Structure 1
Amino acid sequence: MTLRHFRIFITVAEKESITQAAQLLSVSQPTVSVAIRELEEHYGRPFFERMNQRLKITSDGLALLSYAKHLIQLTDEIEQSFQDPDRRKSLRIGGSINVGVSLLPRWIRQYQSQHPEIEVQVQINTTDFIEKQLLENELDLALVGGPLHSPFLIHQPVLKEKQTVVCGKTFPLANQAVTLQELASYPLLFRQRRSGAFEVLEAALTEAGLTVHPQWESASLEALLEAARQNLGVTILPYALAVREIENQRLAEVTVTDFRFENLISLVWHKQKYKSPAMLEFIRLIEKSSKGEA
């Protein structure tokens, strides 16, 4: 198999069409069809199925697509590096929303002060979205506070971040101590499902035989903060952010007596990802910072 086969395969997967892929690549349709057939014959399995006049990628095709994108990206990086050695180096870092609020800005500032020659691009989004970006090679690595599910990703635990339950200053639970079961009986203001924060609470309540029924689900952390300030329910925040809200007298703490909320923060990257010097330096900085050495 050649790089040409994989470039054609990626284009067909993205366009879901032999015709559109051929037009984009400026080759004939038979050329594209032959390349796909040769790939499928070589690996002994179908990578596409035809549905409603479109080509839909199979599960085997999705697995190959992940490898193919990383192979092409690495090849392009080699070409660019040796053809233009003075080109500014870059590092693409992702972060789940809670990590992006509580930890990542400080780590990015430290990294940029130590490596001003490297352009850092940051993407803050849901854990689910960050996983997709890593699989599609849109990010080099990420720091997330929730579980990722793809077998193609490597997880390196960094630290456990304490989470604090908070509510509005005049909400019935303000500055009170309650059990987990009692907490679950009040309106929950929560990040959307498959976010790290949601899965922490869901796991805790499930273990206690309770069910999660959030009254609010939001991709916006600020929306949840404002809802809590308006006494609409309780939410859970990273400790550093909760302390800031409490000290500024915008929110009040709720103590849960029978459970400690913690979120495992992990460094994540694709297992086929070439770890550049810039990427390795960032990983080393996070490891030192999590141990209190930086």
Structure 2
Amino acid sequence: MAALIDIDLLRTFLAIAGTGSFTRAAEEVHKTQSAVSMQVKKLEDQVGRPLFDRGARQVRLTPDGLRLLDYAQRIVRLSEEAAAVFTEPALQGTVTLGVPDDYADRLLPRVLSAFARSHPHVELVVHCDQSSGLYRSIEKGELDLAIVTNCADLRSEVIRREALNFVGSQEHATHLADPLPLAVGPRTCAWRGIAQAALDSIGRRYRIAYTSPAAAALSSAVLAGLAVSILPESAIRPDMRILTERDGFPALPPCDIGFVRARQARSPIHDALAEHIVTRIGNLPSKLPDAAE
């Protein structure tokens, strides 16, 4: 009979697969890099196949690693759900969470997936809006918790700071256009004002080509080569290019990510999610693995 695979080895395997790096995986599972390497060797010995291609620029899964990935995700998820049922039966209910649209598809899954697995009886209701709108909803008691950005004028706890960048398409030279076409949020968007002030400071001509409150729409305009936009590091998508001073673009101030909590959100379920969000966002790598270099 084949030996059973240790779940701890599978957790490390998933961390490497998710981050694309032994170093970042070690931070995520709270182990040294050498301990992570030893665990991978032990896992590869158990399955009798190489699981990672270490010769690539980024650590990638081999075909056998891809085969194991689905099993590992299901095994770890079921283990965490089973543990949660017996160790934290009181954590059940509904929490409303607000998050800016810019982070909904890139940051949110990485932050909330582990919480959802370990607290299967908690229903998360997520609302997307601009940070100012989310903050007003918190004050009105319409949301329990919210993640906000550019929070200097909002009473929030800063939990992460990221570089803010001008971004263009890897496949197009839109950044050379004169005037420069910009894809930005509405007039109330802080990043729009920051970008315009920065371009004005160097005398760069620009025009507002696309305006939308939806980050996906702005990103689509960038990837299609129709405009340049402004994004923090964790929201940069594959095939986007960071535009720096070498490309003729001024440096931008950093972007703060903050966390706010409604007065009524004081139950154990709110405590658990709040602690999870603050810890996970604060410990994310500076650039998510599939962001463009």
Provide TM-score, normalisation by structure 2: 0.55
- Cα distance, 1:184 vs. partner? 9.4
Quote the residue 1:218 is aligned against: 212
Conserved in 2, the CA contact under 8 Å of 1:202 and 1:211?
no
**Contact between 1:91 and 1:118, CA under 8 Å: does it hold in 2?**
yes
**Residue 120 of structure 1: how far off its partner (Å):** 1.1
Match of 1:124 in 2: 128
Question: Residues 161-215 of structure 1: CA distance to partner in whole angstroms, max 9, x if unpaired?
Answer: 23332223222437xxxxxxxx995121111222343244356457778898533
Indicate the residue corresponding to 1:276 in structure 2. 267
Q: Please say if residues 131 and 148 of structure 1, whose CA atoms lie closer than 8 Å, have aligned partners that are also in contact.
A: no
Q: Residues 45-60 of structure 1: matches in 2 within 5 Å?
A: none
**Conserved 8 A contact 1:92-1:120:** yes
Equivalent of residue 245 in structure 2, options 238, 248, 256: 256
Q: Could you say what secondary structure the match of 2:259 adopts?
A: strand
TM-score between both structures, scaled by the size of structure 1? 0.55
Does the 8 A contact of 2:183 with 2:222 survive in 1? yes
The answer as to whether partners of 2:96 and 2:145 remain within 8 angstroms in 1 is yes
Following superposition, the deviation at residue 240 of structure 1 comes to 3.6
In 2 relative to 1, CA 223–290 (structure 1 residues): closer, same or farther, beyond 3 Å? closer
Corresponding position of 1:165: 166
Instruction: Map 1:167-206 onto structure 2 (within 5 A).
Output: 167-168=168-169, 169-173=171-175, 185-202=179-196, 204=198
SS at match of 2:157: strand
2:100–2:148 Cα contact (<8 Å) kept: yes
Distance, in Å, in 2 between the alignment partners of 1:87 and 1:164 is 39
State the number of aligned residues.
193
Could you tell me which amino acid in structure 2 is paired with residue 157 of structure 1? V
Task: Report sequence identity in percent.
Answer: 21
- Give unpaired runs (5+ residues) of structure 1: 1-85, 175-182
Question: Could you say which structure has the larger radius of gyration?
Answer: 1
Q: 1:114 to 1:135 in 2, by over 3 A?
A: same
CA distance in 2, matches of 1:202, 1:134: 29
The Cα of 1:290 is off from its aligned counterpart by 3.7
